[in-house]
């Protein structure tokens, strides 16, 4: 079938074909993601699915992203094609080439563990698209976070494979700088396989429709998404909305930062102004611009139309202003490994600001963190170094008509938990408790979700433990009279060295309990359905003590 057969008499791309192509591209990225998960070696990818897959047009505009992804992963993708093209002239790029990048300042990334492989897609001899995937390589344990040079190996865009063959010198350089190279080697090969599949699938579509039609249809798909986004924004009342929230993390000790946002809705456009936010800090929680943009795009999508396709058309009606050198738009050499903690608070700022504009679409504050636990050390069973990473869910915010969910990943995170059986098989750790925390969800007409308690016992000597979390010093807020959720905490067994700056060293038999925050409630608690309240008590979500405490609160 010839390409021009898919155009209308006026020259526009057939809208039916646009819909078909959008579904085809979405199928490709989902198949890429599943290929990566199934071929991966490390538990963080094959079990926790801490990865994503995507397609871009020739100029680096995103066409599709796999749904298995965490929204924050977009922050490690949206700048990568531009970074590659800045370093490698297009005329020097060949079929089968693959580029590796992770650096937030020169490679389009958002933190160093997110290793991105991007592969050009050629059609009819011309560069037409890019396949890119990201895998969070759970390596780089026992690191400092005063600046980015402590956080791992920085990789600007480099040619990782040349015409289908791995550049061995580059591969060995990267592996030498990793603490668990066996895992890294296998995971990188899984990433190569995922991109190779995408190139083949895109080639099949091009063979059917032709390069001209593929390019025109991709452009029309972005235009369609832009129209839907603008139409959805136009339904939000015009005005300027502000919100302030508090942010803490273990690296900052007992210090709290105050984060601010001003949102302006004007017609079918949105402006996010992050002026007057704190300067970047000597800790890992700074955000580069890619992380900030990815977070804002996620929050907009959730509030205006969650069914809008995930592509660059969504980004066009959105303007983001953030001062350079601030915690939300840092400059080199700021550390960024724990940037997701701050990203979660940015979502809270956006939801809090727009709660008065679209209250029925906004949830109360969720647990407000990406609670990451890191255990690393020498495993005497294998004689090898191990790095165990997991992010633990918490409560999600109550909705206007429904309770929040208990013990889930929220907002910009979307990874699975690591099954206890896999954890205890692969690492010298024992899980002694894994449970929901009663009374942690805020009361309201609808109740906030509960946080999680996870207790692990260490089986080896000198195991370094690092905790990333937030909402220890503040509580996730409620809406419309709903009460706040309970804060996060960490508890250690007697005799264990205390956590200082988020870190400690543990010995055999030491136990650490990580308790994640609950979430805020929505509406007056006195308006809760009696049957729902009875169920809360019956299931142990709310105890009599908590009910009495809530009743006494102003």
pTM of the full predicted structure? 0.94
Give the start-end residues of each E strand in 281-428.
Answer: 318-321, 371-379, 384-392
- The torsion defined by the Cα of 106, 110, 116 and 119, in degrees rounded to 10, comes to -60
Q: Which residues contact 433 (CB under 8 A, 6 or more apart)?
A: 453, 454, 455, 513
Q: What is the 3-state secondary structure (H, E, C) of 165-189?
A: EECHHHHHHHHHCCCCHHHHHHHHH
- 405 and 483 Cβ atoms separated by less than 8 Å: no
pLDDT in tens, the chain (554 residues): 233 334 443 357 889 999 999 999 999 999 999 999 999 999 999 999 999 999 999 999 999 999 877 899 999 999 999 999 999 999 999 999 999 999 999 999 999 999 999 999 999 999 999 999 999 999 988 888 999 999 999 999 999 999 999 999 999 999 999 999 999 999 999 999 999 999 999 999 999 999 999 999 999 999 999 999 999 999 999 999 999 999 999 999 999 999 999 999 999 999 999 999 999 999 999 999 999 999 999 999 999 999 999 999 999 999 999 999 999 999 999 999 999 999 999 999 999 999 999 999 999 999 999 999 999 999 999 999 999 999 999 999 999 999 999 999 999 998 988 999 999 999 999 999 999 999 999 999 999 999 999 999 999 999 999 999 999 999 999 999 999 999 999 999 999 999 999 999 999 999 999 999 999 999 999 999 999 999 999 999 999 766 555 544 54
User: Measured between alpha carbons, how far is 322 from 325 in angstroms, rounded to an integer?
Assistant: 9
257-266 sheet: strands from edge to edge: 239-247, 257-266, 269-273, 318-321
Tokens 């008065």 correspond to what residue? 356
Produce one character per residue of 186-203: b if its CB has 16 or more CB atoms within 10 Å, e if not. Answer: ebbebbbbbbbbbbebbb
Of the candidates 129, 36, 114, 33, the one whose C-alpha atom is nearest the C-alpha of residue 76 is 114
Of the candidates 165, 214, 190, the one whose C-alpha atom is nearest the C-alpha of residue 32 is 190
DSSP code at position 148: G
């Amino acid at each position: 079938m010839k390409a021009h057969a898919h155009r209308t008499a006026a020259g526009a791309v057939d809208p039916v074909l646009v819909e078909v192509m959008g579904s085809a591209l979405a199928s490709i990225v989902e198949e890429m993601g599943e290929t990566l998960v199934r071929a991966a070696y490390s538990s963080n990818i094959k079990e926790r699915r801490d990865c994503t897959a995507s397609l871009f047009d020739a100029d680096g505009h995103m066409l599709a992203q796999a749904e298995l992804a965490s929204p924050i992963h977009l922050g490690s993708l949206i700048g990568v094609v531009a970074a590659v093209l800045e370093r490698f002239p297009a005329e020097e790029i060949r079929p089968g080439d693959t580029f590796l990048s992770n650096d937030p300042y020169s490679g389009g990334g958002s933190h160093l563990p997110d290793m991105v492989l991007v592969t050009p897609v050629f059609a009819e001899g011309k560069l037409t698209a890019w396949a890119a995937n990201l895998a969070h390589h759970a390596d780089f344990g026992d690191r400092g976070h005063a600046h980015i040079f402590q956080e791992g190996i920085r990789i600007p865009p480099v040619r990782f494979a040349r015409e289908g063959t791995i550049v061995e010198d580059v591969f060995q350089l990267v592996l030498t700088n990793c603490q668990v190279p066996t895992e890294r080697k296998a995971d990188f090969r899984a990433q190569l396989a995922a991109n190779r599949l995408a190139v083949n699938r895109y080639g099949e579509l091009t063979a059917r429709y032709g390069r001209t039609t593929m390019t025109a249809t991709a452009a029309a798909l972005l235009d369609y998404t832009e129209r839907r986004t603008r139409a959805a924004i136009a339904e939000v009342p015009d005005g300027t909305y502000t919100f302030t929230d508090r942010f803490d993390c273990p690296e900052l000790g007992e210090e709290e930062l105050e984060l601010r946002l001003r949102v302006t809705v004007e017609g079918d456009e949105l402006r996010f102004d992050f002026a007057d936010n704190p300067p970047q800090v000597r800790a890992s929680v700074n955000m580069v611009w890619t992380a900030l943009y990815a977070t804002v795009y996620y929050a907009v999508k959730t509030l205006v139309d969650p069914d809008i396709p995930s592509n660059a058309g969504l980004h066009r009606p959105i303007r983001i202003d953030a001062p350079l050198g601030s915690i939300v738009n840092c400059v080199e050499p700021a550390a960024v490994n724990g940037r997701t903690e701050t990203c979660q608070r940015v979502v809270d700022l956006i939801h809090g600001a727009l709660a008065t504009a679209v209250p029925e679409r906004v949830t109360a504050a969720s647990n407000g963190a990406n609670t990451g636990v890191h255990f690393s050390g020498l495993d005497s069973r294998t004689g090898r170094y191990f790095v165990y990473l997991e992010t633990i869910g918490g409560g999600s915010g109550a909705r206007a008509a429904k309770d929040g969910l208990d013990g889930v990943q929220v907002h910009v995170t979307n990874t699975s938990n690591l099954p206890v059986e896999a954890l205890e098989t692969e690492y010298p750790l024992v899980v002694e408790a894994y449970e929901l925390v009663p009374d942690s969800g805020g009361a309201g007409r609808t109740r906030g979700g509960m946080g999680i308690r996870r207790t692990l016992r260490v089986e080896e000597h000198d195991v370094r433990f690092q905790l990333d979390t937030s909402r220890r010093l503040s509580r996730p807020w409620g809406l419309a009279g709903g009460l706040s959720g309970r804060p996060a905490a960490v508890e250690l067994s007697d005799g264990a060295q205390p956590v200082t700056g988020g870190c400690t060293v543990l010995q055999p038999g030491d136990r650490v309990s990580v308790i994640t925050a609950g979430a805020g409630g929505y509406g007056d608690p006195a308006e809760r359905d009696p049957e729902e309240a009875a169920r809360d008590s019956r299931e142990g979500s709310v105890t009599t003590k908590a009910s009495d405490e809530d009743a006494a609160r102003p």
